[in-house]
Chains A and B, each alone.
Chain A
């Protein structure tokens, strides 16, 4: 009768430290060169360069010539496959590609792993080079793996500024500190520009009349943003053009307090201010605009 539970024993078959194999002169030469950080092939009687070197040409069975040829250092992936879940015995502990690699100067393909990060980075034609181990012993794994050749680089860019707002924006920010959106009326065009500005961008007239406008308005157009932004409440967030009541130009601002897919053109919104004691001369005084709940406004054509 079977035992219950069944009898099971763990059983391991192993040569601790590995089984010692002699290499012979051909494989030994290849492994010796690997230890020195070089990849060599052997020339076959017909002139082809076999990489890795074999003692006999697999096509003809003829002995190879004994002429060793350094190949690489780069090679080209001719075929590949992507390992989603590496096994314990694999060369890498993260997803990687197995590849057939035609080393420059070789006529056959070397099998090895390619550390490419993601499957879509690998394709036939990909140029790769060995990533050598620091400590080499004369073993095929002296090449830890291959890595793609460099085709892109990160160019560091950072400059620093001290910025003053200028007179017009300074006046607008002063208004925000007081909880007011300040516009300016062009005497010629009779248009109210928000934010306030010193001259009319249409006719060039000087603007001297400051006009406070309401903190309510209408969404004229908007965009849904899926990339996080430190100023945004969450992802996705909505940035919108808002035509404040009493203004003739739109102002760009965030929309909050409503799911992104509910935002629409013509929606009525109101500014959400930070508490008066937290206000500074900054646009961050307005967290975002949220719906007022009023009926939508039909938008006039341009």
Chain B
């Protein structure tokens, strides 16, 4: 495998309210930041992750190219997924050997619709979507399955408290108070604070290969493992309490080959953290979501990419030697991407 590293990361100050910026306008500052950090104006490859349905505009990802300028023509690709999968594609592209730098970005303007209802559209259109099964209802079924398999609601409450406290110290996350003890459930057993708050936001990462990475960054965060695996889609045909694809992805990425200092996990519902910790084999000594995680800001389609960026940031700063980032897609942690980063 060709050595590939993250050499720059930037994200917006995410907002739970519509501040009137278009998607390219959300993206513009973070592209500027990673260009400034690396000194690069152009990249050998560009890949983005977003969801046109968030704004309801077909090919809205094409207009987002306005934020970087695509003339003369650039080598560009897009995934209709979280930007974490765009990073995976860019990493794979750099393996070809003819490209040495890549720009990856993810963005989402989640405040213009109800993204939890919107996610019904991603479900199997024959058996699930016609039921109107929204994202929170799906997650609640998983939370219940986890509780029935020995989970504990107090763990969920603690995940929320710890995440929100960490998020309050993160200038890019929302400033969320400790939730009241007696919050009324939305869909049992999920309470409002168990649900990641959708936000408008964007993030960008620059990848570079080999010596190019060493030139661009004092301490690159090397991608020593990256893999994604997927569970069956239909909720009734898999073990919701123990999604197999999380552990499969972690093994394929070699997560267990050394100690993990810090993990940034795509926890968009509080019960997902203990499920992921168990599946990833993270002990109590591993610092999880020191950024506050998605429970403190969920800029849909950038959230997973930000996990990779937050983990890389800690490796680049020297505060972590070996970090794990997780991104998820699909209902109930169906599709999981694990990235291992080392200094």
Q: For residue B184, which residue of chain A has the nearest CB? A: A84
With A141-B130, A141-B131 as known contacts, state yes or no: A50 contacts B144, CB within 8 Å. Answer: no
Complex alpha-carbon distance, A112 and B127, angstroms: 9
What is the chain B residue whose CB lies nearest that of A107?
B237
Known: A82-B188, A83-B187. A111 touches B131 (CB 8 A): yes
Q: Which listed residue, A58, A83, A84, A87, touches B117 by the CB 8 Å rule?
A: A87
Query: Chain A interface secondary structure, helix, strand, loop or mixed?
Result: loop
Distance in Å from the Cβ of B229 to the closest Cβ of chain A?
A: 13
A69 beta carbon closer than 8 Å to chain B: no
Q: Is A293 an interface residue (CB 8 A)?
A: no
The contact of B127 among A2, A11, A100, A140, by CB within 8 Å, is A140
- Knowing A81-B140, A89-B117, A100-B141 are in contact, say whether A140-B187 is a contact too (CB < 8 A): no
Residues of B within 8 A of A11 (CB): 56, 112
Q: Mark A1-14, 1 if CB is under 8 A from B, else 0.
A: 01000100001110
The minimal Cβ–Cβ distance linking B17 to chain A, given in whole angstroms, is 11
B303 to chain A, nearest CB (A): 22
A262 within 8 A of B: no
Of B143, B188, B240, which is in contact with the most chain A CB atoms at under 10 Å from its CB? Answer: B188
Q: Is the CB of A100 within 8 A of B236?
A: yes
Q: Is A110 an interface residue (CB 8 A)?
A: yes
User: B120 at interface (Cβ–Cβ under 8 A)?
Assistant: yes
Within 8 A of A (CB), among B102-153: 112, 117, 120, 125-128, 130-134, 137, 140-141, 143-145, 148
Rounded to whole Å, the gap between the CB of B125 and the closest CB of chain A is 6
Q: For the complex formed, measure the closest distance between the CB of B130 and the CB atoms of chain A, giving whole angstroms.
A: 5
Q: Are B187 and A80 closer than 8 Å at their CB atoms? A: no
Q: Are A91 and B236 in contact (CB under 8 A)?
A: no
CA distance A109 to B56 in the complex (A): 33
Q: B131–A91 contact, CB under 8 A?
A: yes
Asked whether, in the complex, the Cβ of A13 is within 8 Å of the Cβ of B141, the reply is: no
The answer to whether A100 touches B117 (Cβ under 8 A) is no
B190 to chain A, nearest CB (A): 8
Please tell me if the beta carbons of B237 and A84 are within 8 angstroms of each other in the complex. Answer: no
A139 at the interface (CB under 8 A from B): yes
B238 within 8 A of A: yes
Interfacial residues of chain B within 181-203, with CB under 8 A of chain A in the complex: 184-190
A23 within 8 Å of B (CB atoms): yes
> Which of the residues A23, A88, A111 comes within 8 Å of B235, measured between beta carbons?
A111
- The chain A residue with its CB closest to the CB of B112 is A11
Would you give the shortest CB distance from B261 to chain A, in whole angstroms?
35
Contacts of A54 in B (CB 8 A): 234, 237
Residues of chain A within 8 A of B137, CB atoms compared: 81, 83, 98
Cβ-defined contact, B148 with A79, below 8 A: yes
Task: List the B residue with the shortest CB-CB distance to A124.
Answer: B148
Which chain B residues lie closer than 8 Å to A98 at the CB level?
133, 137, 140-141, 187
Report yes or no: B120 in contact with A89, Cβ–Cβ below 8 A.
yes
Name the residue of chain B whose CB is nearest to the CB of A85.
Answer: B186
**B238, closest chain A residue (CB):** A58
B232 contacts partner chain A, Cβ-Cβ < 8 Å: yes
CB of B304 to closest CB in A, whole Å: 24
> Within the assembled complex, what's the spacing in Å between the Cα atoms of A58 and B243?
14
Q: Does A130 contact B (CB under 8 A)?
A: no
Q: How large is the interface on A (under 10, 10 to 19, 20 to 34, 35 or more residues)?
A: 35 or more
A89 and B133 alpha carbons, distance in the complex (Å): 8
CB of A89 within 8 A of CB of B236, answer no
Whether, in the assembled complex, A108 has its beta carbon less than 8 Å from a beta carbon of chain B, the answer is yes
List chain A residues, Cβ under 8 A from B53.
Answer: 13
Q: Are A108 and B127 in contact (CB-based, < 8 A)?
A: no
B73 is an interface residue with CB less than 8 A from chain A: no
Is the pair B187, A84 in contact by a Cβ cutoff of 8 Å? yes
Residues of A with C-beta under 8 A to B97: none
- How far in angstroms is the closest Cβ of chain A from B240? 7
With a cutoff of 8 Å between Cβ atoms, the chain A residues found around residue B134 in the complex are 87, 89-90
* A25: min CB distance to chain B, Å: 13
- Bound Cα distance from A81 to B136, whole angstroms: 10
User: Which residues of A are found within 8 Å of B234, using beta-carbon distances?
Assistant: 52, 54, 58, 108, 111
| CB contact list, A267-285 vs B, under 8 A | none
Considering the chains assembled together, what is the distance between the CA atoms of A119 and B20 in angstroms? 41
Indicate if the CB atoms of A140 and B236 lie closer than 8 Å: no
Output the least CB separation between A131 and chain B (Å). 14
Which residues of A have CB within 8 Å of B144? 79-81
Whole-angstrom distance from the CB of B117 to the nearest CB of chain A?
6
Q: Distance in Å from the Cβ of B330 to the closest Cβ of chain A?
A: 13
A108 touching B189 by the CB < 8 A rule?
Answer: no
| Interface contact A140-B240, CB-CB below 8 Å | no
Q: Is the CB of A81 within 8 A of B133?
A: no
Complex CA gap A59/B329 in Å reads 19
How far is A111 from B123 in the complex, measured between Cα atoms in Å? 12
Given A54-B234, A83-B187, A84-B187: A111 in contact with B133 (beta carbons within 8 A):
yes
A-B contact pairs, 22 of them (CB 8 A): A11-B56, A11-B112, A21-B125, A23-B126, A52-B126, A52-B127, A58-B234, A59-B232, A79-B148, A79-B240, A80-B141, A81-B141, A81-B187, A83-B137, A84-B187, A98-B141, A100-B236, A108-B234, A111-B141, A124-B148, A140-B126, A140-B128
**Which residues in B have some Cβ–Cβ distance to A below 8 Å?**
20, 53, 56, 112, 117, 120, 125-128, 130-134, 137, 140-141, 143-145, 148, 184-190, 232-238, 240
Q: Which 6 A-B pairs have the closest CB atoms?
A: A109-B236, A89-B132, A58-B232, A81-B140, A82-B188, A13-B56
Name A residues whose Cβ lies closer than 8 Å to a Cβ of B.
2, 6, 11-13, 21, 23, 27, 31, 50-52, 54, 58-59, 79-85, 87-91, 98, 100-101, 108-113, 119, 124, 139-141
Given contacts A23-B126, A90-B131, A91-B131, 7 further A-B contacts (CB under 8 A): A50-B237, A58-B234, A79-B240, A89-B134, A98-B141, A109-B236, A139-B130
